[in-house]
Amino acid sequence: MALGLLGAGAALYAFQDRLIHFPDPAAPPAPAALGLRGVQAVELRTADGLALLGWHLEPARADAPVLLYLHGNGGSLLHRAGRAQRFADLGWGALFVQWRGYGGNPGSPSEAGLALDAAAGLDWLAARGVPPARIVAWGESLGTGLAVRLAAERPAALGAVVLESPYTSMLDLARLHYPILPSGLLLRDRFDSLSRMPEVRVPVLILVGGRDRLVPAGMGRRLAAAATAPVQLWEAPEADHNEIGRAGGIEAAAAFLARR
């Protein structure tokens, strides 16, 4: 039994990145080939010298929000095409950051690396003259940890944060899904949103699914309780992890941003 646990622990430590990240390695088709209107492929340069693919959507109005979209742990930008079109239909602007190691991008994903990728996206928007008050960091699942980190580290650079299916920390998730393993000793990348939440100074919308089997809705509630900035918690009682948008989450975000 002990040897089995040691073996499982060693495997978790050695291959933990493969348990967190599930990238589609293929480069996504050009936005036009997917029928996306007004979406352009752009290049983002990270502080450690990587050139990453992103998708940029111009806002329809000068006062429309511009989303810095930080996606989840699976797929590539191809799997966010529907979301990009939805934002376009609402007249919003957006920059979809595709993580290193995803969709043909160079590099390998890690918490430190993804933080650089998110910062590169924010810097790209700032360089184009988008006012901080209009920039909304929208984190999807894994991306929520990067959105919270960015908002905590650069509070003057954002106007709001939207967290879709957020977790408290990767350690909490590991303890939930691998309860017999000493995750506290093995996990390198913690993505600790709960400890950073009190440092966020801009309004936050938290979207959770009542039937989320991957990240329990209770984690979103804990983040809301830890917030010191204005926070709104919205729950879709029947939604699983990837069903928030279809269950009304985007409409909830639209109402939240309209009040901003």
Maximum distance among all Cα pairs of the chain, rounded to whole angstroms: 63
Please list the alpha-helical segments (H only) found in 130-240.
142-153, 170-177, 183-186, 193-196, 217-226
What residues contact 66, with CB distance under 8 A and at least 6 apart? 59, 92, 93, 94, 95, 125, 130, 134, 135, 136
For 217, other C-beta atoms within 10 Å of its C-beta total 21
Domain encompassing residue 132: 2-259
Which of 36-73 are b and which e, b meaning 16 or more Cβ less than 10 Å from the residue's Cβ? bebbebbebebeeebebbbbbbebeeeebbbbbbbbbb
CATH of the domain at 83: 3.40.50.1820
Using CA atoms in the order 45, 43, 158, 201, what is the torsion angle rounded to 10 degrees? -50
Q: What is the pLDDT along the chain (260 residues), one digit of tens a residue?
A: 444 444 445 555 544 665 689 999 999 999 999 999 999 999 999 999 999 999 999 999 999 999 999 999 999 999 999 999 999 999 999 999 999 999 999 999 999 999 999 999 999 999 999 999 999 999 999 999 999 999 999 999 999 999 999 999 999 988 887 777 766 667 888 999 999 999 999 999 999 999 999 999 999 999 999 999 999 999 999 999 999 999 999 999 999 999 97
Structural domains counted in the chain:
1
